[in-house]
Structure formats: structure tokens, C-alpha cells
Chain A
Amino acid sequence: GAVVSQHPSWVICKSGTSVKIECRSLDFQATTMFWYRQFPKQSLMLMATSNEGSKATYEQGVEKDKFLINHASLTLSTLTVTSAHPEDSSFYICSARAPGPPLSGANVLTFGAGSRLTVL
């Protein structure tokens, strides 16, 4: 089945630095990837939709200059948290959609294992 890999799994950084999280589709090409954020004991909130070769679409309230998303290839999307602050500490999860016809295996999003960011 489709596999999505996220890296790093854990990252600790100092306030004011930038952190990059990678999301890779390992055995399929993903034209669309989604980035979610999850606070402790809470649900997943969609941050942005990343489309290969075009600008990401951000959800209302998400600062696009703070959360930079790049989807430069069909297998890689990156989320960069710029000038991170403690309130950015969270669990970030990506998911990818494989292209294909409806009712095939492509109609399910595959999730990465998540990346836990702690900003000191």
C-alpha cells in the first residue's frame, strides 16, 4: 500500500530559529498533500493544501509567511516553520493523495507518522 514518510519524527529548536519538516510519498506520486496540526488531546486541524508545482492553499487563520509550504516534486512536500516560538510547539502531520480513478485505492489519504516540534 501507499506509504508516506515524515522527517524528522521529533525536533527541538530554540525560539527564533526555523525548522523544516519533510513529507515524502515513498511508492506513489502525490499531486496533493495536506498539512495538519494537532495540539495535545485535540483533533487535527487542516493548515494548508499543498499542490505540486503551485502555491499552497492556506486555511483561514494560518499565517502563510510563518508556515512555508513547498511542493516542488510529486514525492516531496516540505513545511518550514519560520522564526519558531513556543506557541508553535505541536504535532504536525502530513497526508498525501495518490492520483487515480475514483473507487480505486487512490480515494484514501495516507498519513505520515507525524513530527513533534518543541520550541524552547
Chain B
Amino acid sequence: AQSVTQLGSHVSVSEGALVLLRCNYSSSVPPYLFWYVQYPNQGLQLLLKYTSAATLVKGINGFEAEFKKSETSFHLTKPSAHMSDAAEYFCAVSLASGSRLTFGEGTQLTVNP
């Protein structure tokens, strides 16, 4: 079985500040890890994915995440927040390529001017 825990249901940052969204996973096998972003009343857009290649993964819109096996973490970061980054972010895990995803509870990111 697999699961993810997102620490902090709400994160608020100032425009231009560092964004850090935390995700810890639990998996019985080497996991595939994903970060998705959801804007209000829309579906999910993939930001980035980890599939056992490089541990530092770069995604779209300036986001990146680092897979740390020793910490069972896959935190999402962005050096400088933009107002358009305000959205709900979901961390997800799957056990195999293209298989069902298990989502975390989500983190609502607010960016203050």
C-alpha cells in the first residue's frame, strides 16, 4: 500500500518569496511521485514527476522537487513565488508507471502581494 502526507493544508507566502510545500510518502516498493496543481473548478495539471531517474526533478513554471529516500520526502519548491502560483497543490504516489494515483490531502498556496 502507498500513501502521501502533505504537511500544512494552507501555506501563505509573499510574492517573490520562496515556496516550500512538503510531502512525505509511504510505499512498500520504490515509488513514482508526482506533484499536481489545481486551479478552482478545474482538473489537475502535472507539475513534475519522479520516476527513479534523477532525484532532483525540474517541472513547469519554475517548480522543482527533490526525492530524498532517507527522509521519504518529495518536497516541492520554487525560488520566487508569483501571484499566478496561488492554487491547490497535490502530491501523489503510484506503485507503477501509469497506475492508479493516491493523493495527499492537498495544500492551498496563497501568494500575498
* A116 x B105 contact (CB < 8 A): no
B77 interface hit (Cβ, 8 Å)? no
Pull 10 A–B residue pairs with CB atoms less than 8 Å apart, ordered by A. A34-B100, A43-B103, A44-B103, A46-B101, A93-B44, A103-B97, A108-B34, A108-B98, A109-B101, A116-B41
* B97 x A106 contact (CB < 8 A): yes
Which residue of A is nearest B91, CB measured?
Answer: A43
A60 interface hit (Cβ, 8 Å)? no
Chain A residues 67 to 120 lying within 8 A of chain B, measured CB to CB, are 91, 93, 95, 97-98, 102-103, 106-114, 116
* A108 x B49 contact (CB < 8 A): yes
B18 interface hit (Cβ, 8 Å)? no
Chain B residues at the A interface, C-beta cutoff of 8 Å: 32, 34, 36, 41-46, 49, 51, 90, 97-106
Number of A-B contacts defined by CB within 8 Å? 56
* A113 x B32 contact (CB < 8 A): no
Distance of A107 Cα from B42 Cα, bound (Å):
22
Q: Which of A6, A49, A103, A111 contacts B100 (CB 8 A)?
A: A49
Distance of A46 Cα from B3 Cα, bound (Å):
13
Chain A hits for B46, CB < 8 A? 108, 110
Chain A hits for B97, CB < 8 A? 102-103, 106-107
Q: Which of A102, A106, A107, A113 contacts B43 (CB 8 A)?
A: A113
A42 interface hit (Cβ, 8 Å)? yes
* B98 x A107 contact (CB < 8 A): yes
* B32 x A107 contact (CB < 8 A): yes
